[in-house]
Chains A and B, each alone.
Chain A
Amino acid sequence: MKITLTVNGERHRLDVEPRRTLADALREDLGLTGTHLGCEHGVCGACTVVVDGEPVRACLMFAVQADDAAVATVEGLAGGADGDGTLHPLQEAFSRCHGLQCGACTPGMLMTAAHLLDTEPDPDRATIRAEMSGNICRCTGYTGIVDAVADAAARRARGLRARETS
């Protein structure tokens, strides 16, 4: 089946079997291997991408279901407004706070966290833990991940306040 999808702002036309998952279309057909697979049955969250503004598990969605959709993956997070490759504040925070070790869960964590910060500007640690609990990390014990999301949120809140008062 022929589909069109926009990934990180770039339009792609693909011819896929109906059974092909969105994760495989991204990884195999578009070479965007940043989206990882940890279970392929919807539990671990490693494959989380944002489709039309909502986080979805790319292992549970067929590529054909994403026809005409806008997909955001980890590859599109960095880049800044002018595409200069600047890391996203969450990526910076993950590095600063050791929110990643092996990096297998990281793309899903980042996409989930990005959506969280978009929808909940000032989450406390309990909220972060609850909201991130659909993503499994086997390495970090979550301390660094919660620290990173909290840190990114706090910096953003500070930045917003600074802008308001200036």
Chain B
Amino acid sequence: MDHTPAAGTSVRRKEDARLLTGRGRFVSDLALPRMRHVAFVRSPVAHGRITGIDTAEALEVEGVSAVFTGEHPAIGPVALRAQSALPGYVETDQPPLARGKVRFAGEAVAAVVADDRYLAEDGAEAVVVDYEPLTPTVCAWAEPTDPVHDPVHEQAPDNLLLSRTFRAGDVDAALAGAHVVVDRELTTNRHGGNPIECRAGVARYEAADRKLTFLSGTQVPWIVRTQLAELLDLPEGNIRVIAPDVGGGFGVKAVLYPEDVALCLMAMAMPGTALKWVEDRVEHLLAATHARDHRYVLRAGFAADGELLAVQADVWCNAGAYSVYPWTAGIEPLMAGGLLTGPYKLADYRCTVRGVATNTSPSGPYRGVARPSTVFAMEALMDSGARALAMDPIALRRRNLILPADIPYRMPSRLVDDSGAYEACLDQAIATFDLERWRAEQTRRRVEGGRPLGIGVGLYNELTGLGRAASAGPRMAFRTGHDACTVRINPDGAVTVFSGVTSQGQGLETTMAQVVADALGVAYEAVEVRIGDTDQSLWGFGAFSSRQAVIGGGAAHLAGEHVRGKALALAAALREAPVEDLDLRGGQVYMAGQEKPIISLAEVAKVAYLQSDRLPEGFEPGLEGTKFYDPIRGAFAAGAQIAALEFDPATGEIGILDWVCVEDAGRIVHPVIVDGQIAGSIAQGIGGAMYEHLVYDDAGNLATGTLLDYLMPTAGEIPELRIGHVSTPAANPTGVRGVGEGGTLAPNAVVAGALADALGVEIDDLPVTPARVWELMHP
């Protein structure tokens, strides 16, 4: 039997059989014996001192067994603290349940444990909390003339948790020498990940052996375990974190939340009782992390031929009420400053970014982290530059792209770009889109009448698979460059993989199985993959920064190769054949020049585990191996999106007529999964550009607290997407580039750019809604 590689083909996903038949294993579905349910009491005020909490009545409610507050001895001494060695970063505490004061509407103040969720909610309603209001801060860029009355954290009297200036070259001189200088002031709209399964956790503590099991829909089980060990004062090995099937993550679940810590602390206070908390959507909108609430004040200088000479930027990111663990309030501002210049060459750059605390839900990682905003900002500068120079906007972009000849290119923020495929993506996107045809249609409509049509374009780089030299996160206490993978051949010759990756829908069981099958030389069907359990796999940092295909995949490949070497060595010794002449394909060992296999992997495994009498000299029993992989740097993934949109003057309605995306995802392991990642992320990007907006009033109340006000796009709003690839293999074991986030990066720029192009205006604020379009068309 010959071996067909699994990678590069769209094999049937390992996950599908259970997910399609309603047999998924989600935390929300778990039922353990004598399990009790938790409901949180959440603050109705944005900022206020807690003057009293009365739990007496709640404890009388039928079925309620306990009520915890921030002052409870089990909770009181503990606080999350996101750390960073960044100079000037102000460290602040986040209590599991509010202590002393509340800092945003929705913050958990107390928790009620009861026999079922209905009774827990009855109990929560009976908890009486008194607040003495403090002045809330909602906007992160209030005028400096407004003094901060009541800072969110006393450690940061001006509410500034972090600020940093990125500098390269001499911006003032470059601007002075520029042929044209353009200015833009932009804001982007707060929105969030909103996976269909909200957050969920089940915690159970066994006092006799001090063991805690925490089942959680987390994207980062090992990070969670490490931090829980510290907070709960338990040996790390006594904590088992399991992320089973998880119903979407998108970054929102890459945070260790106060509710998670509270749940574990309560479980420890109630040993032997499993406690379950399943967040509802209203809680999710209120208290899971938000993102993208930014302001950009920009100035750029261009030479007469269109060369981008200088960018000066001031950026404010609304960090919300807490610096999220582990990413800190720096997650968005530092990404904004580091990646603002995107795929464009630039020498002279100055960018000051700030993370500002406000009385709103904390900001955290959301697919694309800051770059949907920065790509919008950068493309707005390009469009303004083109207008000022009377140049074609696409020609101006081309003039400045990082090209293959420039690679490796050191960006002004000192990140090293290894891609250079931007122009290839752009060319293919333009050809697929048929730009000339759409330009002709645009002109036709201008002459003959019809809905105004605009063309928007967004070029971007996705920084993926970050190794230790460019590790994700702002100088945190750990470096996220590596993952581990164990490949085990079982006594029957089948393969079990224990991978450190986690999956929230990305199909990582499938991808890891493909990689291992090929590296080892067995059929895809012979490989089973275990993920998301800290007691099963050795190590993985988890799902963020589009890292797992690169890093987890790299580890899987190396481990597969390593075990292949072991199996072949044993086969060679058993058959007295030279190992260099042997090959493992489809689970059979072949000798060069012979058609029939000389031994099967199953036979080799049987000897390794069960027949030590047959084990040759120098071989230990067992057949498995573990490898770590760290790409040291990272792999940039290039992308280009271009779309045609029309705008209805009567209603402001926005119609997407065509949308093309071309990405360089490197070598592709599973084509359909890769396209699914791209399509899904474009849809989320379109949601953020046109529909999704978390709005606070001046008092800090969330005005968009249900899915009736917070609009996520459906099949009716998302257009047919045309996705293409240029595939330049990256320098890592599998040649892949990350693909999880890129799609989200362009839609802001594309939608705003198309509207600007259609109406000849500048779009400074997002989202682009029909109401906004209507206003612009009826000035």
Question: Complex Cα distance A135/B715, Å?
Answer: 8
B689 within 8 A of A: no
* B interface residue numbers (CB < 8 A to A): 10, 12-13, 15-16, 19-24, 26, 28-29, 31, 116-118, 193-198, 245-248, 250, 280-282, 504-507, 672-673, 675-676, 678-684, 706-708, 712, 714-718, 720-721, 743
Name 25 A/B residue pairs within 8 A (Cβ), A-sorted: A19-B118, A28-B116, A31-B31, A32-B22, A33-B28, A34-B22, A36-B196, A39-B706, A39-B707, A40-B281, A41-B282, A41-B706, A41-B707, A75-B23, A100-B16, A100-B19, A102-B248, A102-B505, A103-B19, A103-B20, A107-B22, A132-B715, A139-B676, A140-B676, A142-B714
Instruction: Report yes or no: B682 in contact with A141, Cβ–Cβ below 8 A.
Output: yes
Question: Complex Cα distance A149/B76, Å?
Answer: 53
Question: Complex Cα distance A44/B708, Å?
Answer: 10
Given A100-B19, A139-B196, list of 9 further CB < 8 A pairs? A33-B26, A41-B706, A74-B21, A95-B12, A101-B248, A133-B715, A138-B248, A138-B712, A140-B680
Q: Which residue of A17, A39, A87 contacts B21 across the interface (Cβ within 8 Å)?
A: A87
Determine how close the nearest CB of chain A comes to the CB of B650; give it in whole angstroms: 21
Q: Which residue of A24, A33, A97, A134 contacts B22 across the interface (Cβ within 8 Å)?
A: A33
Q: Which residue of A17, A38, A77 contacts B118 across the interface (Cβ within 8 Å)?
A: A17
**Given contact pairs A141-B682, A143-B679, A103 touches B250 in the complex (Cβ within 8 A):** no
* A interface residue numbers (CB < 8 A to B): 17, 19-20, 24, 27-28, 31-41, 43-44, 46, 73-75, 77-78, 87, 91, 94-95, 97-98, 100-107, 110, 125, 128-130, 132-146
> Which A-B residue pairs are the 6 nearest by beta carbons?
A34-B22, A102-B505, A104-B247, A103-B19, A141-B679, A101-B505
Instruction: Report yes or no: B247 in contact with A103, Cβ–Cβ below 8 A.
Output: yes
Instruction: Report yes or no: A141 in contact with B681, Cβ–Cβ below 8 A.
Output: yes
Question: Complex Cα distance A110/B682, Å?
Answer: 23
**Given contact pairs A33-B26, A75-B22, A102-B504, A129 touches B716 in the complex (Cβ within 8 A):** yes
**Given contact pairs A95-B13, A95-B16, A40 touches B280 in the complex (Cβ within 8 A):** yes
Question: Complex Cα distance A133/B720, Å?
Answer: 14
Count chain B CB atoms within 10 A of each CB in A20, A24, A39 and give the residue with the most. A39
- For A144, list chain B residues within 8 Å (CB): 672, 676, 679
Q: Which residue of A40, A95, A130 contacts B716 across the interface (Cβ within 8 Å)?
A: A130
- For B117, list chain A residues within 8 Å (CB): 24
**Given contact pairs A41-B281, A41-B707, A104 touches B196 in the complex (Cβ within 8 A):** yes
Determine how close the nearest CB of chain B comes to the CB of A58; give it in whole angstroms: 13
Closest to A37 in B: B28
- For B505, list chain A residues within 8 Å (CB): 100-104, 139
- For A98, list chain B residues within 8 Å (CB): 10, 13, 672-673, 675-676
**Given contact pairs A98-B676, A103-B505, A139-B505, A38 touches B23 in the complex (Cβ within 8 A):** no
Closest to A145 in B: B715
Closest to A126 in B: B716
Question: Complex Cα distance A36/B22, Å?
Answer: 9
Instruction: Report yes or no: A91 in contact with B21, Cβ–Cβ below 8 A.
Output: yes
Question: Complex Cα distance A78/B743, Å?
Answer: 34
